[in-house]
Structure 1
């Protein structure tokens, strides 16, 4: 596991620690874009330390759901609470503090091309959290080692594979020691050869105790690491259950059809669900 809050010295930066946790609660959350209702009356509670995977077809509202948590998208209706504290009306410093508690890993990595892997991680530690160069560098190197990239500290994004860039992005998301980490389809921009290295890092992170919410199309990964699977379609939560129950005994007909297609794509929807 990774290191503690920002009072630690450079020598302590690589020492193990238990990641902090936070709860997330959606209360009657809706998101509307013009005439399009992206999310409809979402009610969902995620416990501290829980690992939740969000599944559903493209355009179902999955990414919007997690982007609302740290206000990368704004709510239209309802409320989101972090550790029982409402977040909808946070602005300025209060919003920055909220976002410092929430790591976010994007589909497209979003690394700064003109900065090395090390510098991409230390930037926020130095500019936002006021860490010294030595402490920030020690923490960044510890995180790069944690994701298997210790030897790539001085490499620029263009010199890294897609999987390596995404692992740097995960290390960057962990740098501020968030209580929550959100993943928005983190393997969708990767080639098949590099998906596994990113999923391995995420599997290891899932055992650290941090609260994780993962939007993904990786079915086996969702089945292996999640405490709970949430299935969304048409902007609504249609099913929420433990992974084994979801993948073997889905209750909602739409979830049944979805799994039938993604797990057995050579068959048509009209074939019996029993083949799952």
Structure 2
């Protein structure tokens, strides 16, 4: 198969994990902050993610979760602090150096972001031919392998409009894997899906988690965080309030805000009833 002229080969020494196999740090945030105008959405975050670790980032809407992971591959720019990928600083990267960084970091978006005029096969292979210089036959061969991996071998020539939401997201995952990244980021990958389609995407993510790739997943899917993640990071107000292994986080959360969040997410009806009772508004829901 035709190999890329500059996709993974030239950049592997720059952002790949250590060759000695030691359990190193894949992603590290040091005093990272991000503001949009006067609104600070990330406040002096420190976080380390080990090579091969699966980290679930949870928290209420507007807590800064998505912004946090978008900073990793420069979809958003830092206001202050530093982010390191495999111990190497990433601040100020542009041009070829930024493309090299992104080659090693896959990103799966909430809204799929597939090209409507391309079929699944070409959506996956496009970056290899247009950005990394692969021959079309070789790029499509690799794209087919990835579609097999995500269970869509029979949908290679279907356009996004012919695919369900779950199938579109699996194509997006295949696309994120096409450059053989060693880190993959997920920004609420199931939030736009019909509930019946969520499981098929989570199964693919579970297979990835078991493959040894480093994963950082912003999610409201508590089952994924509890059953698949190695660690749960809880955010609110642009800060990390708690980090723990899943068992500890879900059974004995330490921060009061984390406890309130879990109560509302895991027991929404009970939580709403208790809140109304606390406010003396129980009669408002009476028939």
Alpha carbons 1:181, 1:212 under 8 Å: kept: yes
C-alpha separation between the residues in 2 aligned to 1:88 and 1:127?
26
1:232 to 226, 230, 235: 235
Alpha carbons 1:50, 1:210 under 8 Å: kept: yes
2:30 to 27, 43, 47: 27
- The alignment partner of 1:81 has SS state of strand
The corresponding residue for 1:130 is 133
1:178 to 165, 178, 181: 181
Query: Alignment RMSD, CA only?
Result: 1.6
State the number of aligned residues: 256
C-alpha separation between the residues in 2 aligned to 1:269 and 1:152?
43
Structure 1 stretches of 4+ moved >6 Å: none
Q: What TM-score, normalized by structure 1, do the two folds share? A: 0.90
- The alignment partner of 2:269 has SS state of coil
Q: What TM-score, normalized by structure 2, do the two folds share? A: 0.86
The corresponding residue for 1:99 is 102
- The alignment partner of 1:268 has SS state of helix
C-alpha separation between the residues in 2 aligned to 1:261 and 1:159?
36
- The alignment partner of 1:201 has SS state of helix
Q: Deviations over 1:156-204 (max 9, x none)?
A: 0000000000000000000000010000000010001111100110011
2:71 to 68, 79, 92: 68
| Larger Rg belongs to | 2
**What displacement does 1:270 show?**
9.4
C-alpha separation between the residues in 2 aligned to 1:211 and 1:191?
27
C-alpha separation between the residues in 1 aligned to 2:165 and 2:58?
23
Alpha carbons 1:100, 1:176 under 8 Å: kept: yes
Gaps of 5+ in 2: 6-15, 18-24, 275-287
The corresponding residue for 2:256 is 253
